[in-house]
Amino acid sequence: MILRPLAAAVAALSVCGADGRSFLRRDLASRVETETEIAFQGVLDNLGPDGSKAPGAEPGIIVASPSTEDPNYFYTWTRDASLTFKMIVDEFLHGKSELQPIIQDYLKAQAILQTVSNPSGALSSGRGLGEPKFYVNETRFNGNWGRPQRDGPALRATALITYGNWLLDSGDEDEARDQVWPVVQNDLNYVAQYWNDTTFDLWEEVLGSSFFTTAAQHRSLIEGIAFGQALDQDVSAYESQAPNILCHLQTYWNGEYVVANVGIQQQRSGVDANTVLASIATFDPEATCDDALFQPCSARALANLKVYVDSFRETYTLNRNANGTAAATGRYAEDVYYGGNPWYLTTLAVAEQIYDAIQTWSSLNSLTITDLDLPFWQDFYPSAAVGTYTPGDDGTSTFTKLVDAALAYADAFVSIALKYTPASGALAEQYSRENGTAVSARDLTWSYASFVTMRAARLSATTDYPQVPSWGAPSGDEVPEGACVASSVIGTYSPATGAGAPPGSGGCTVLVTFNVNASTFFGENIYLSGSSVDLGEWRTGDALAMSASGYTDARPLWSAEVELPANSSVVYHYLRNEPDGSWLYETTNRTLDVPVCGNMVGGSNATVEDAWVGPVGTPPSKLV
């Protein structure tokens, strides 16, 4: 497909006037429809068990990308899968009835994954729900990673609640209660218990508090309250925590833009696509332009959007001469991953936020520009001024001109993404900052899903295409006054057997802390390996990395926390991973009898104190 360069499109607008704009929009709409078909098929190709690019994936499992090296994304991420299936559920609500079996497969797959113990923990404590990714055959991934990531449970709850509400509207309360609710309840209990604990951000790089995560958590509890009440369930834990999370959400606003991550060690500006993605993930078409909720049309969200887009104008070669016009955008300007390039999904997210905003202005028949978001408007409508505008009878009102200008601005971001989409329509993770060629993982599911959601938002902004369902966004007036309360409610967690979790899975576990004194040198690391699946079943590739955060010369301490099945017995030993990648083993194995649940002082916890046994030699016998 040969696309018209953006500069030519802008020139045509100035020559052809309104008729030219209409022609260009029809042309763009046609290209969007063509790419949407490719993108949706791209999602299905990455879906188990029948997807052509998802060999070995279980039913309902979304593969992040078929790329298996440089980088290896052949895993399923809870966050990516949840966002993708929210898109699939929305498409199902828009009339694609053939998608219901796929949604039901996803429900079962998530019920199973909730019970898979992992390096983040297990189901009985809820900690395991914060594990970011699994192998596509629904088994644990033991490798080093940024964990936990606390956005996954909230996003999964949102996707399934949307489907559950459809079931209720269709009169199928039994399926909503017996299959959907048990999975959702585990996730909501996790949010209510762990929302105030540190998390890795959605880019899996920094540990602290993440705006995207907090916004997703707040939404999940609000819609979870309504869904639970409709099923006569106890939702008091969610009612107690939702206001605290909404209060915490306000702390990311610095007066000029949203700081994406707080409480982190890395020094960044905080200007990040995280914030734009959060705005569209929590868009409610029935909400107003609420600053406290950072709705897409709010002054805060629009001011933040300008700061975000501007941060890339001088960053990428592609954006030369892009001042005041649309620009290619990435994760954040300081990004160096694969060279720090624009991403398809982040560029499309800018357009989607503006399309969402247009939906609200059109519904309200009102648009207000404040001192805060005036610079956003003046980028593409230089004569914009502070004030409130409403439609006129002749279609030439300032309101109409502002909305039309915003639509053209959003369309220009889509045009950029399409310009650097190859003729096949395949969407990678990134496109080069220098020349627009595909970079990093190929056929990224999240890229494809973002194109589909952008298209739906555009249709809802320009036609009578149905909007996404309201999630019951509260008024910003409900933000608690005074200091935020850092509280939580300890949850209970059970396998969702009605949805497909294996009977007897997710049993009681004991959190065991393994401490070993092992003197090491820089570049040498200690791992834990053992006989159980939780300890990697003796495979060095699945051995658990230990932390040296407590290491001193006086006590060379390495530690790891593992949840092990209560009243079980495991055999284990420690390993040294050398800088050249080789492994050195202890000369003995050890046996641990895991206590019975609840019999220890202070709850289901235990600590093991060991010292490295040498000299270093060849691997000992695997069993004692």
* 58: pLDDT strictly greater than 80: yes
The per-residue pLDDT for 441 is 97
Contact call for residues 127 and 512 (beta carbons, < 8 A): no
Q: What pLDDT is attached to residue 21?
A: 56
Element (H, E) at 414: helix 398-419
* Listed residue (162, 189, 145, 28) closest to 84, CA to CA: 162
**Sequence-distant (≥ 6) Cβ neighbours of residue 390 within 8 angstroms:** 365, 366, 367, 397, 399
Query: Residue written as tokens 């299936």?
Result: 85
Q: Counting Cβ atoms within 10 Å, is residue 84 exposed (0-12), middle (13-18) or buried (19+)?
A: buried
Over residues 19-54, the pLDDT tens digits come to 555 556 679 999 999 999 999 999 999 999 999 999
Q: Is the pLDDT of residue 8 over 90?
A: no
pLDDT in tens, 240-282: 999 999 999 999 999 999 999 999 987 789 999 999 999 999 9
Name the residues annotated as catalytic.
Answer: 201, 204
pLDDT at position 508, please?
86
Contact criterion met (CB below 8 Å) for 181 and 173? no
* Chain-centre distance for alpha carbon 604: 31
Phi, psi of 21 (to 5 degrees): -60, -45
Q: Helices 445-462 and 6-45 sit at what angle, rounded to 10 degrees?
A: 120
Domain ranges of the chain: 1-45+317-465, 76-282+471-507, 508-611
- Tens-place pLDDT, residues 318-355: 998 777 789 999 999 999 999 999 999 999 999 999 99
- Which letter does DSSP use for residue 179 in this model? I
How far apart (Å, rounded) are the C-alpha atoms in residues 249 and 178?
A: 33
* Residue-level length of the chain: 624
Binding residues: 145
DSSP string, 259-273: -SEES-SS------H
**One-letter amino acid identity for 67?**
S
Read off the pLDDT of residues 156-209 as tens digits, 9 standing for 90 and up: 999 999 999 999 999 999 999 999 999 999 999 999 999 999 999 999 999 999
Compute φ and ψ for 132, nearest 5 degrees.
-75, -35
CA-to-CA separations, 236 to 66, 189, 190, 496, in angstroms, rounded: 42, 11, 14, 21
CA-to-CA dists, residue 340 to 199, 430, 431, 439, angstroms: 23, 9, 10, 10
What is the per-residue DSSP string for 28-64?
Answer: HHHHHHHHHHHHHHHHHHTBTTT-TT-TTPPTTPBPS
Which CATH superfamily, name and number, covers 508-611?
Immunoglobulins (2.60.40.10)
User: What's the topology of domain 76-282+471-507?
Assistant: Glycosyltransferase (1.50.10)
Domain 1-45+317-465 and domain 76-282+471-507, same fold? Reply is yes
CATH classification code of 1-45+317-465: 1.50.10.10
The annotated binding site for substrate is made up of: 145
Give the angle 359-361-363 at the CA atoms, nearest 5°: 65
The residue ranking higher by pLDDT, 396 or 174, is 174
Average pLDDT of the residues in 470-474? 93
Residues 154 and 191: beta-carbon distance below 8 Å: yes
pLDDT at 383 over 80: yes
Closest CA to 395 of 404, 383, 387, 406: 404
6-45 and 78-93 are packed helices; what angle lies between their axes, rounded to 10 degrees? 100
